[in-house]
A and B are shown apart, each in its own frame.
Chain A
Amino acid sequence: MDIFIERSKQTIKQEFSGTAQELLDKLSINPEEILIIKNGQLVTEDEELSTEDEIRLLSVVSGG
């Protein structure tokens, strides 16, 4: 699974299957601070993810 983390501008590769919330827990990312895009679609934290998915974690923070 390719996971792009916008705030740190990095893409990481991981073997993962489970919910988006479980992925966030694994990465120590607070769900209040991001939106989850799975294969180009906005999804909620209970969405099931699999290894083939492309994930983008967009930062909700902007400005100062």
Chain B
Amino acid sequence: MKCEQCSKTAISTKPALCKEHFDEFFLTTTQEVIDTFSLFDKKTNICVAVSGGKDSLALVDVLLRLGYPVEGLFIDEGIANYREHSIQDLDLFTQEKNFQVNKISFKEAYGFTLDQAMQTGKVHACTVCGTFRRQLLNKHAQGYDVIATGHNMDDEAQTILINLARGNTDLLFRLGPITKDTDLFVRRAKPFYFLSEKHILTYTILRGIRTQFGECPYAQTSYRAAIAKLLNEREVACAGTKRNILETYLQLQKKERKEKINDLQHCKNCGEPSQEHICKACLFKELLTPLIK
């Protein structure tokens, strides 16, 4: 297959591009998302949520190349034989790029790891992990203007379908490349909104960014894994399916956006944003703490 921009051999299929034109496509697509959705500018105080995986390291690399000053925030959930590998990749990357990262953990913040929480048999991994991560990110990113995350087109298309399938209309209309500005939450931006998992791994290989294969051991059992499989099958059968889901969603969101941010309050226990008097993170902590061995 030849590059659609020149006569060199292509290294990517959709779009068919050689190494040089793929790099240009990747930077341009990221910049277009930043500009089109007004994610941030070069004076913005940007915190990147980094995991040491391919998406967040690629995001830091691209933002630095595009001239955005960034710092990182890393959350260690405490998942054995998984997170320690990405910490190694993150440490190597931060040394090479001279990139500042603040590290926090579930153990320090809540008194137990995700593995310990799972041993109780009382909670679903993705639910408790997502709740704690969201809260810690927001808490520790105070002082920044925006949190940039490595969420990509696959993640976003999956989340839209999951919320549709579960009837979560409130959550559904809070998605998109940038969250609304509120006093309670630091805004979240997704510069890779229109780039796929495949694009991002291609970029990390071309840029020599080392990431070990890292799929969360709890992910295979998740609803998301089933939706991802379905979407990948549809994408092969009908190219452009994932992008079409996002484009359709953005049109619907424009018409129907009804964020319930005004309904949010401060948790009476920890003071973090919450939909109820006591936030989900505190409820999980109260449930799990006596059961942790």
Could you tell me which A residues sit within 8 Å of B by CB distance?
6-7, 9, 30-33, 35, 42-47, 58-64
Q: A31-B236, A32-B232, A32-B236 are in contact. Are A59 and B11 (CB under 8 A)?
A: no
Q: Is the CB of B218 within 8 A of A42?
A: no
Residue-wise, chain B 216-236 has the 8 Å CB interface mask toward A (1 for contact) of: 101100101000110011011
- Given contacts A44-B11, A60-B198, A64-B126, whether A30 and B215 have CB atoms under 8 Å apart is no
A62→B213 contact, CB < 8 A: yes
Q: Which of B16, B202, B215 contacts A61 (CB 8 A)?
A: B215
Give the chain A neighbours of B129 by CB distance below 8 A. 64
Top 3 A-B residue pairs of the complex, sorted by shortest distance between their CB atoms: A64-B216, A32-B232, A64-B219
| A contact residues around B51 at 8 Å (CB) | 63
Q: Is the CB of A63 within 8 A of B55?
A: yes
Chain A residues with CB below 8 A from B53, complex form:
62-63
Across the interface, name the chain B residue whose C-beta is closest to A34.
B198
With beta carbons under 8 angstroms apart, the residue of A7, A9, A32 that contacts B198 is A32
Mask of B223-253 contacts with A, CB within 8 angstroms, 1/0: 0100011001101100000000000000000
User: Which residues of chain B are near A47, meaning CB under 8 Å?
Assistant: 1
Q: Is the CB of B54 within 8 A of A62?
A: yes
**Set B54, B200, B214, B236: member contacting A30, Cβ < 8 A:** B236
B1, B213, B214, B224: which has the most chain A beta carbons within 10 Å?
B213
Instruction: Tell me the smallest distance from the CB of A50 to a CB of chain B, in Å.
Output: 17
Q: How far is the CA of A61 from the CA of B216 in the complex (A)?
A: 10
Contact across chains for A64 and B222 when beta carbons are under 8 A apart: yes
* Given A7-B215, A30-B236, A64-B129; A35-B222 close (CB under 8 Å): no
